[in-house]
Chains A and B, each alone.
Chain A
Amino acid sequence: MELNDEKPRVILNEYKVTQNLPTGPTILDEQFTIRNFKRKCRIVIVRNENFEMEFDWIGIHPFLANTFRRLMLSEVPSMAIDKVHIHNNTSIIQDEVLAHRLGLIPLKADPTLFEYKSDASAEGTEPDTLEFELKIKCSYNKETSKRDSSRAEDMYKNNNVYSKHIKWVPIGNQKERFKDSDVGPIEPDILIAKMRPGHELDLKLFAVKSCGKDHAKFSPVATAFYRLLPDIKIVREVEGDDAYRLQKCFSPGVIGVRQDKNGKKVAVVNNARYDTGSRNVYRYDDLKDAVVMSKIQDHFIFTIESVGAMQPADIFKEAVKLLRDKCASLLEELNSS
């Protein structure tokens, strides 16, 4: 097939996956050396906004992609509520369920400014703990204008407890080190509990620094994943209605229909990047020989979605530094023994 170019590819066939025969040695058959890595590896940032980042990492071995994905998910630290002191809870939600829900609330706090707590049972101190308070009571709404309403939000006050009700209590010097806007829940409208008149919550919350290995709530990313770059080639002309049919087989924007010199409508590949790799073309016997779908094996598209405490670029850099420090300290230990 004409896919035998210099790139290593997996070819998506109807019932199986095969590989092409690249014209030269690729990164996958080459020995891993630093020189090769430095020469071949390339990073291209595609998108970076609103705590979401997409970048291409080209010319690397798959093990590196996976190592950094794993590091971002489970070893880059962040802050989360870890201990809840329940002074009063007369709502219908049980203490342990409430505590668990509070733990899962993403917190805005730069984890690099905090230390790991050395002794989990010790009282929190300024460098390692953030303290919060949740004190709220539900009552009847005395406002006369809403007397006839039967909607819960008109009849009662504080019937819904949201994450915005959590108040930060600075420990020691924290008031000077952080602004009020630096710490607290990232989203103000996370529903924590529902209450009725007479119900009351009086809680003290303690957030500490830890990593995803310990508990998923400490993971700084909502998700971090990579995929291989898809590539689609149209190997014979597809025209007229068939072109539109072919277009429908792929994700929107992947296949375009253009008019050629003779006025014929012809299918062309616009942008294969965002194709899902679904094999819908194989439903049509007359179209399936017209395209070859493949994925490029040394081209990784990373997507990092941050929870909101750190920028995705910082999360990635943190992951790289983590592996570096880990290897460096092991090396030091080996050299000293």
Chain B
Amino acid sequence: MPIAQLAETEALSDSSKSKTFVFKDEGHTLGNALRCVISSYPDVQFCGYTVPHPAEAKMHFRIQMHKGKAVDALKRGLEDLVNVCDITLEKFENELQNL
């Protein structure tokens, strides 16, 4: 299973506001979806992702907040994606049954 890890970031005044997360075995599929969701939150100042090297199965995910904790934005983003999947599945199943 992929693991979300906290990468070492420069010790700024408040490091919980800005963080880079490293996702193992993830790439553009999750990276872009998550980025699009999280960057639309009003408290988020910056959100971006990169796959530093194509041969390495790693994805770096950066969140910088105006206020609040970066981890909370990430959690909220993942929750939203889970909800998106549930809604999609429900709508798709409904449509299949009505066919």
Contacts and interface: CB of A to CB of B under 8 A. Distances in A.
B29 to A, nearest CB: 5
Interface string B8-39: 00000000000000010010111011001100
B55 interface: no
B51 interface: no
Contacts of A320: 85, 88-89, 92
B75 interface: yes
A66 B34 CA distance: 12
B29 A41 contact: no
A34 B96 contact: no
B80 A55 contact: no
A161 B57 CA distance: 39
A67 B32 CA distance: 8
A334 B87 contact: no
A16 B28 CA distance: 29
Given A70-B28, A326-B2, A334-B71, A34 B80 contact: yes
B56 interface: no
Sort chain B's interface into a size bin: 35 or more
Given A43-B91, A48-B99, A335-B75, A71 B86 contact: no
Interface of B is mostly: helix
Contacts of A333: 1, 3-4
A313 B40 CA distance: 30
B82 A41 contact: no
Contacts of B88: 41, 43, 320
A190 B40 CA distance: 50
17 contacts: A32-B40, A34-B80, A41-B87, A41-B88, A43-B88, A67-B29, A71-B29, A320-B89, A323-B29, A323-B30, A327-B81, A327-B82, A328-B82, A330-B23, A331-B75, A331-B79, A334-B4
Interface of A: 31-34, 37-38, 41-45, 48, 55, 61, 63-64, 66-67, 70-71, 74-75, 313, 316-317, 320-321, 323-324, 326-331, 333-335
A324 B89 CA distance: 10
Nearest to A57: B88
B93 to A, nearest CB: 8
A326 B34 CA distance: 12
Given A31-B40, A63-B33, 9 more contacts: A37-B84, A38-B87, A41-B88, A43-B95, A320-B89, A320-B92, A323-B33, A326-B30, A334-B4
A75 to B, nearest CB: 7
Given A61-B36, A320-B88, A334-B75, A34 B83 contact: yes
A317 to B, nearest CB: 6
In the A-B complex, the 3 residue pairs with the smallest Cβ-Cβ separation, listed nearest first, are: A324-B85, A63-B36, A67-B33
B54 to A, nearest CB: 12
A326 B87 CA distance: 16
A222 B88 CA distance: 23
B75 A313 contact: no
B2 to A, nearest CB: 7
A75 B25 CA distance: 12
Interface string B56-74: 0000000000000001001
Contact of A329 (B1, B84, B86, B92): B1
B89 A42 contact: no
Contact of B92 (A32, A70, A316): A316
B61 to A, nearest CB: 11
Contacts of A31: 40, 42
Tell which of B82, B88, B93, B99 has the most Cβ of chain A within 10 Å: B88
